[in-house]
Structure 1
């Protein structure tokens, strides 16, 4: 089923012009009474203030007084004035957002929403080549960047990109400009199906894919997973490890708490060692992180010194949650981890379960508002108990930005996530494995070919292959098999540093194995399956 688009409020129509053809969209499960005009930034701030008041805390930051909803709105609206009055941003322009997870970055995102522009939030750790590619794909013309994260963005040398920094000392700093602006801004009346954000995800080929999501999509993930599974209360305090450049973090740390009138603790450093003391100090009640972090917190020798009594909701996504990890966390804390599977293409979690409905070792059942089934390669539904491809559809669907891989992800009207699952007879979905070559390590997606390309840029490397290997603590690790030019020295540490200079550090191989030749078929095709089996290639 296709749904005609509403009249757009975008002056710059690039995003809508590059949506996939309607016949390539997945089927959508939509509320027919949904509004045609909707600005998610206004809904998350103005409407929430109407419901709960302006004096409630919205964002916390270590060592700083909290921002109330009223203060947050004033800051957002001042930034919105800078965007439109000073920088000339018009509805539909793509605005890149870059920096550590801070209240200022979140305020910038909300301001981009209110002015009707399209947010392209990236990771603070991503390197110049990665940033240049995303800016090229998204035709990005403006960037709001934390002053501490501007170097690689400047090195990207994106043609025509206007970079405005925040958190610096100069008179042109965004926050300095914003201080002189009015504290109220009337949000642009965007269409519910105007593109609000482009989230980039790695593909198995290595070239990132821009996933376009509408204003209605932003609220849909809050009104499905958050409302029905998390069931947050206004007094909840959210926190977690995923950065805002990942939709897992954007939902869990900004969209979900603001939709519920709750607050969020935004941490620049949110590894397991930072999480435990922060959870205790700020009385966090809702936690978002990956299984790797739960295992690391369990292993922390000082864990019992931290008071986690305020914690009531623990969410895990990004990689499969083993039953043993779930049980160990429950034994230690009495808390049931809410497992879930989501995707950048679908914005957030669509299969999950909470409370007494949780079954360790399974992901859960379709979130209310979503449908899921198991299919074969031809799209035919498979019987319970038989492994196949996970197919889902709901209020949000995959819409790649001008990318032919749309027909790979969307087939027969369903989103095919790239995961092999089994549906049990009672309706629960159990993860089996990834169905493609994506490496998932500690919740991060790593495309082997992208890392291979970086390795091959080193002058000593003539061949490279990167695969995932099972790992007890991280789920998988990336292992690189490398063939060097004749006479070159084996220097794994130097190769790692080279890759870290080319790609975001989490993509760097944990292990590098040097070979005289890569295993190939008689026709020259790389035999990746042999590399995935330790000891079979020497």
Structure 2
């Protein structure tokens, strides 16, 4: 039962932010979900800097981060480097508390250190994917009014091409004298900015079904809350664990699994720049990884290569990002003896809120609400549905959706609950079973892809008159992106040219696996696009098609 004394609404404290943009652009308090702090560990003090908390615990000589080439950063080294970076941010670079700082680069200890330094300095971290293209980067920087960026020298080209007005880009990892890592900084501890627990610490962007990214604002206390709920009560890490996984730090799945969870436990993480299924298995064997975070697709692919590697160090396997089929769970368990911990999370809620571990796992279900969280299945009006009846998943807990100045806040938060956009069934035993997405989001190999965003990119091609993008079921990826295009009169159908165009506009994982050319898109009498007909057609396309456009 819910604790009636645990629910609270927005109660802002005195902010440490000099730049008040983030707090001023939070949704109005009456649009917030109800927050729950049922567990004693979730009742944080009013003043809290999450980076200082994450860095405070382990002894200096304990390992914090490992790299594939064998380098290890101890917690002492990490603390010293974070402090140096924080001095540079607030000195040379002129960052003040509340400024948004974009972080971009492959998954490395330096990217993690930059993230911690930004938070320790009281600024707001905006971590993006190294794959994202200039158009995407420009939009996010416009929404969050970003004026500072720390970027790995290897990922700076697209950021520079975005030509974002007023953005100061500082690179790291290069040879130039003004490179962040070559600058002179005080070799002294940096006193963490005395941020409020409800000061915004990070803005994570997610694509909605309209295609325009939504900035999800999370507080300093939220960063610790995901560790003090899912990680503490479900994952239950050990100090000696070595974490690794495929999600980059630009995804909150990766940020939690590779930085926040291991640091909160005083454990360490192997940070891989290349972390596909073929890289994960040798990395597990060589570095004795014990906790793995990846998507169902990777578990399926790795099954064929298991015999070639010693993965006996693994004790925890976590799956999220897309639904985990029971067959994949069973096959992995049969081959390894390991029970995959399934889970569902959302960028809006920062990490996993329904899951189960060990003997509590029921293959084919996602699990039960993580301690500290509550979930139910509701109809379109918010009324709770009986067990066994499919409806919308509604969730509440210590973290809630707070979009950055976005009217879609009213769609996600209804009646004090976060409505995730997933269709679920609550079984009579209290376990939640995934049915489908309730919107037009395509989930492919763990990536969330908004069909309308890909449509917008296609429509920027001069030959495309109309475009529709849907997901099609795929045994390996869960879904693949299929684009249907109507060309202008006289234009030559060229699927590869369109795919190359989209790759230049968006991150490659959003690119259609297949392009189908139609004479007209199916629409209602009022002109509304009938995406359900495109999904239903599958391979029986409605018009002509260009061959040679398969994956």
User: What interval of TM-score do these two structures reach, taking the shorter chain for normalisation?
Assistant: over 0.9
Whole-Å separation in 2 of the counterparts to 1:220 and 1:405: 24
The whole-number CA distance in structure 2 between the counterparts of 1:379 and 1:174 is: 50
- Whether the aligned pair in 2 keeps the contact of 1:132 and 1:157 (CA below 8 Å) is yes
Tell me by how many angstroms 1:224 deviates. Answer: 0.1
Return 5+ residue gaps in structure 1 as ranges: none
The number of residues matched between the two structures is: 531
Distance 2:122 2:53 in 1: 13
**In the aligned structure 2, how far is the partner of 1:388 from the partner of 1:182?**
56
Among 233, 251, 255, which residue is 2:260 paired with? 255
The answer on 1:384 being equivalent to 2:391 is: no
Q: Distance in 2 between matches of 1:528 and 1:33?
A: 45
TM-score normalised per structure 1: 0.98
- Offset, 1:536: 5.8
Alignment correspondent of 2:11: 4
Superposed CA deviations along residues 87-129 of structure 1, whole A, max 9, x for unmatched, are 1100000000000000100000000010000000000010001
* 1:218-271: CA deviation from partner (whole Å, max 9, x where unpaired): 000000000000000100000000000000000000000000000000000000
**Contact 2:10 2:32 survives alignment (8 Å):** no
Quote how far apart the aligned CAs of 1:24 are: 0.4
CA distance in 2, matches of 1:367, 1:24: 24
1:506 aligns with 2:512: no
Give yes or no for the alignment of 1:70 onto 2:76.
Answer: yes
Q: Which runs of 5+ in 2 are unaligned?
A: 1-7, 544-551
Give the match for residue 185 of structure 1: 190
Counterparts of residues 95-494 of structure 1 (less than 5 Å): 95-177=101-183, 180-300=185-305, 303-494=306-497
**Secondary structure of the corresponding residue to residue 307 of structure 1:** coil
The structural deviation recorded for 1:64 is 3.3
Equivalent residues of 1:75, 1:183 under 8 A apart: no
TM-score, scaled to structure 2: 0.95
Cα-to-partner distance string for 1:390-421 (whole Å, 9 max, x where unaligned): 00000000000000000000001000000000
What is aligned with 2:34? Answer: 27
Give the match for residue 48 of structure 2: 38
1:521 Cα deviation from its structure 2 partner: 1.2
CA distance in 1, matches of 2:259, 2:504: 30
Answer yes or no: is the 8 Å Cα contact 2:15–2:196 preserved in 1. Answer: yes
Question: Match of 1:86, SS?
Answer: coil
User: Partners in 2 of 1:432 and 1:240 — Cα distance?
Assistant: 26
Structure 2: distance between partners of 1:390 and 1:290: 21
Contact 1:80 1:115 in 2 (8 A): yes
For the residue of structure 1 that corresponds to 2:403, the secondary structure is coil
Mapped partners of 1:153, 1:188: distance in 2 = 29
- Determine the C-alpha separation between the residues in 1 that align with 2:356 and 2:486: 46
Distance 1:484 1:185 in 2: 58
For 1:41 and 1:448, the matched residues in 2 are separated by 36
Which residue number corresponds to residue 546 of structure 2?
none
- Residue 86 of structure 1 and its aligned partner are, at CA, apart by 0.6
Alignment of 1:80-95 (within 5 A): 80-95=86-101
Residue 530 of structure 1 contacts residue 536 of structure 1 at CA under 8 Å; is this kept in 2? no
> What residue number does 2:548 align with?
none
